[in-house]
């Protein structure tokens, strides 16, 4: 965690992302067992789908950040008759640094050291929003709620995660 910036002096957009994410802690809106339409109504996930990327998409959109929706027409043919053109970026796409206006600030321990609350964290299979030192807010498939815990900071995870920050120039 970048300790050079006091938490009460976070950049405005970082604070906005953090505040949006925190207000959903405990919510079951992104429960894997139910369908969920994004907060802006642009995309829907079916029952049985993991929704951590939808949670991050919703929080960013609610914060005023439009990362857009990529096209997946060639993949996932079992859904939407093969047209996945209105789906948020996957964890893997985030990890591969394919999301516009989001800059990778580092991988592993070095990335975690540079991180700020409001940054996005992913290992390519799960993702969430950093909320403080050793804390992440994400959609948990174990509890079927939005949780704040140490995901991504755990010893067995922290070498593989990448950290992303909003960068409108990218």
44 in Cβ contact with 36 (< 8 Å): yes
Q: pTM of the predicted model, to two decimals?
A: 0.90
**Inter-residue contact 131 to 91 (CB < 8 Å):** no
Q: How far apart are CA 53 and CA 65, in angstroms?
A: 15
**Tokens (6 digits) for 32:** 């894997």
Tally the C-alpha atoms within 13 A of residue 78's C-alpha that lie toward its C-beta. Answer: 3
| Phi, then psi, of 161 in degrees rounded to 5 | -75, 155
At 87 the pLDDT is 84
Per-10-residue mean pLDDT, the chain, length 170? 64 97 98 95 92 98 94 51 69 95 97 97 98 97 96 96 91
DSSP string, 53-80: HHHHHHHHHHTT--------TTS-TTSG
Q: What is the pLDDT of residue 74?
A: 45
Residue 98 in tokens:
């394919």
pLDDT of the residue at 72: 58
What pLDDT score does 82 carry? 47
Domain at 8-166, CATH class:
alpha beta
Kindly compute the dihedral angle of the four CA atoms of residues 101, 98, 27, 159, in this order, to the nearest 10 degrees: -110
């Amino acid at each position: 965690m970048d300790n050079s910036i006091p938490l009460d002096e976070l950049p405005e957009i970082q604070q906005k992302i953090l505040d949006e994410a925190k207000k959903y802690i405990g919510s079951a809106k992104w429960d894997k067992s139910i369908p969920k339409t994004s907060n802006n109504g642009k995309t829907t996930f079916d029952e049985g789908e993991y929704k951590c990327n939808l949670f991050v998409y919703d929080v960013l959109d609610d914060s005023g950040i439009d990362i857009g929706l990529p096209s997946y027409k060639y993949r996932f043919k079992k859904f939407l008759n093969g047209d996945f053109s209105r789906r948020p970026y996957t964890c893997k796409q985030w990890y591969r640094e394919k999301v516009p206006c989001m800059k990778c600030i580092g991988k592993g321990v070095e990335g975690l050291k540079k991180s700020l609350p409001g940054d996005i964290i992913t290992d390519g299979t799960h993702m969430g929003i950093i909320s403080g030192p050793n804390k992440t807010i994400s959609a948990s498939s174990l509890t079927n709620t939005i949780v704040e815990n140490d995901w991504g900071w755990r010893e067995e995870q922290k070498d593989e995660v990448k950290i992303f920050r909003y960068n409108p120039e990218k």
